[in-house]
A and B are shown apart, each in its own frame.
Chain A
Amino acid sequence: MAKRRGATSSYYWLLGSTIVLLLFGLIMILSASSVMAYAKEGDSYYYLKRQLLWALVGLAAMGIFSRFNYRNFRKLSVAGIILALFCLVLVLIPNIGRAAGGASRWLPLGPFAFQPSEFAKLAIILYVADVLTQRRGEIHDLTQLLVPVVPVVGFASALVILQPDMGTAVAICFVSYVLVFLAGARLRHVFGLGVAGSLAALFFIFSEEYRRQRFIAFLNPWVDPRKSGFQIIQSLLAFGSGGIRGLGFGMSRQKFFYLPAAHTDFIFAIIGEELGLIGTLFVVLMFAVLAITGMRIAFRSRDVFGRLLGSGITCMILSQALINMGAVTGILPVTGIPLPLLSFGGSSLVFTLCGIGILLNIATQEKGASYAGSDMRRGDRRTRLPWSSSGRGTKVSGRRR
Chain B
Amino acid sequence: MSAQKRSAPRRARRGEPRLLFFLSLLIIGLLCVVVRLLSVQVVEAKRYQALANSQRLRRVEIAPHRGTIYDRQGKELAFSVDAETIYATPYFIKNPALVASKLSPILELDEASLFEKLTKDSGFAYIARKVDKERAEAVRALEIEGISFLKEGKRCYPYNSLGSHVIGFVGMDGRGLAGLELYYDEFLRGEPGQLVAENDPLGRPIPGGVSRLTPSTDGDGVILTIDRDIQYRAEEELRLQVERFQAKGGSIIVMNPRTGEIYAMANEPAFDLNGFSKASAESLRNRAVTDVYEPGSTMKVIIASTALEEKMHRPDDVFHLPSTIKVADKVIGEAHPRPPEDFTFAEIVAKSSNVGAITIGLELGKERMYKYIEAFGLTKRTGIDFPGETYGFTPPPDRWSGSTIGNIPFGQGISATPLQMIQAFSVLANDGFWVRPHLLCRVINARGEAVKTYPEDRGRKVISTQTAREIRDILEQAVNEGTGEAARIDGYRVAGKTGTAQKPKEEGGGYEPGRHIASFVGFAPAQDPQLVILVVIDEPVGAMYGGVVAAPVFKKVAEFSLRHFRIPPE
Contacts and interface: CB of A to CB of B under 8 A. Distances in A.
Interface stretch (B202-210, B317-325, B446-454): B202-210
B141 interface: no
A275 B472 CA distance: 89
Given A239-B41, A240-B45, A322 B11 contact: no
Interface in B186-209: 198, 200-202, 206, 208-209
Interface string A258-302: 100000000000001000110011001001100110010011000
A244 B42 contact: yes
Interface in B9-36: 9, 11-16, 18-20, 22-23, 26-27, 29-30, 32-34, 36
Contacts of A330: 36, 40
B12 A381 contact: yes
Contact of A295 (B19, B44, B49): B19
Interface string A111-133: 00000000000000000000000
B34 A299 contact: no
Contact of B34 (A242, A253, A281): A281
A276 B41 contact: yes
24 contacts: A182-B18, A226-B90, A237-B49, A239-B37, A240-B45, A240-B46, A240-B51, A243-B49, A244-B42, A258-B201, A272-B40, A277-B38, A277-B41, A284-B34, A291-B23, A292-B23, A299-B19, A299-B20, A326-B36, A329-B33, A329-B40, A330-B40, A385-B12, A387-B8
A222 to B, nearest CB: 11
A56 to B, nearest CB: 29
Contacts of B4: 137
A126 B417 CA distance: 100
A381 to B, nearest CB: 7
A30 to B, nearest CB: 16
User: Could you say which of B26, B30, B52 has the most chain A C-beta atoms within 10 Å of its C-beta?
Assistant: B26
Contacts of A385: 9, 12
A253 B29 contact: no
Contacts of A257: 145, 200-202
A184 B274 CA distance: 86
Given A284-B37, A387-B8, 19 more contacts: A181-B18, A240-B48, A243-B41, A244-B45, A254-B52, A258-B200, A272-B40, A277-B38, A288-B30, A291-B27, A295-B22, A299-B20, A322-B29, A329-B33, A329-B36, A331-B33, A381-B13, A387-B11, A388-B12
Nearest to B56: A253
A244 B41 contact: yes
Interface of B: 4-5, 8-9, 11-16, 18-20, 22-23, 26-27, 29-30, 32-34, 36-38, 40-42, 44-49, 51-53, 55-56, 90-91, 93, 145, 198, 200-202, 206, 208-209
Contacts of A287: 30
A24 B415 CA distance: 87
Given A281-B34, A387-B8, A239 B209 contact: no
Contacts of A387: 8-9, 11-12, 15
A307 B36 contact: no
A161 interface: no
B55 A258 contact: yes
User: Could you say which of B23, B34, B42 has the most chain A C-beta atoms within 10 Å of its C-beta?
Assistant: B23
Nearest to A235: B40
Nearest to B28: A322
A241 interface: yes
Contact of A253 (B45, B91, B198): B198
Contacts of A258: 55-56, 200-201
A253 B198 CA distance: 8
Interface string A322-362: 10011001110000000000000000000000000000000
Given A243-B49, A244-B45, A253-B52, A184 B11 contact: yes
A299 B37 contact: no
Contacts of A59: none
Interface of A: 136-137, 139, 178, 181-184, 225-226, 236-244, 251, 253-254, 256-258, 272, 276-277, 280-281, 284, 287-288, 291-292, 295, 298-299, 307, 311, 314-315, 318, 322, 325-326, 329-331, 381-382, 385, 387-388
A354 to B, nearest CB: 20
A251 B208 CA distance: 8
B182 to A, nearest CB: 40
A140 to B, nearest CB: 9
A287 B9 CA distance: 32
B153 to A, nearest CB: 30
B22 A311 contact: yes
B556 to A, nearest CB: 65
Nearest to B18: A182
Contacts of B47: 240
B444 to A, nearest CB: 45
A-B pairs, 6 with minimum CB distance = A240-B48, A256-B200, A237-B52, A295-B23, A387-B12, A277-B41
Contacts of A322: 26, 29-30, 33
Contacts of A242: 41, 45
Given A236-B40, A240-B47, A329-B33, A184 B26 contact: no
A326 B15 contact: no
A276 B32 CA distance: 17
A6 B22 CA distance: 25
A315 to B, nearest CB: 7
B27 to A, nearest CB: 6
B200 A295 contact: no
Contacts of A183: 15
A108 to B, nearest CB: 28
A387 to B, nearest CB: 4
B11 A136 contact: yes
User: Could you say which of B51, B53, B93 has the most chain A C-beta atoms within 10 Å of its C-beta?
Assistant: B51
B43 to A, nearest CB: 10
B52 A280 contact: no
B37 A280 contact: yes
A181 B26 CA distance: 14
Given A244-B42, A329-B33, A318 B91 contact: no
B197 to A, nearest CB: 12
Contacts of A288: 27, 30
A252 to B, nearest CB: 9
A225 B91 contact: yes
B15 A307 contact: yes
Contacts of B23: 291-292, 295
A44 to B, nearest CB: 12
Contacts of B33: 284, 322, 325-326, 329, 331
Contacts of B5: 388
A277 B206 contact: no
Given A225-B91, A253-B209, A284 B18 contact: no
A178 B20 CA distance: 12
B206 A299 contact: no
B48 A236 contact: yes
A240 B4 CA distance: 58
Contacts of A295: 19, 22-23, 26
A322 B11 CA distance: 29
A33 to B, nearest CB: 15
Nearest to A384: B12
Contacts of B209: 253
Contacts of A382: 9
Contacts of B46: 240
User: Could you say which of B30, B34, B45, B53 has the most chain A C-beta atoms within 10 Å of its C-beta?
Assistant: B30
A173 to B, nearest CB: 16
Given A256-B200, A326-B33, A387-B11, A239 B48 contact: yes
Contact of B32 (A281, A298, A331): A331
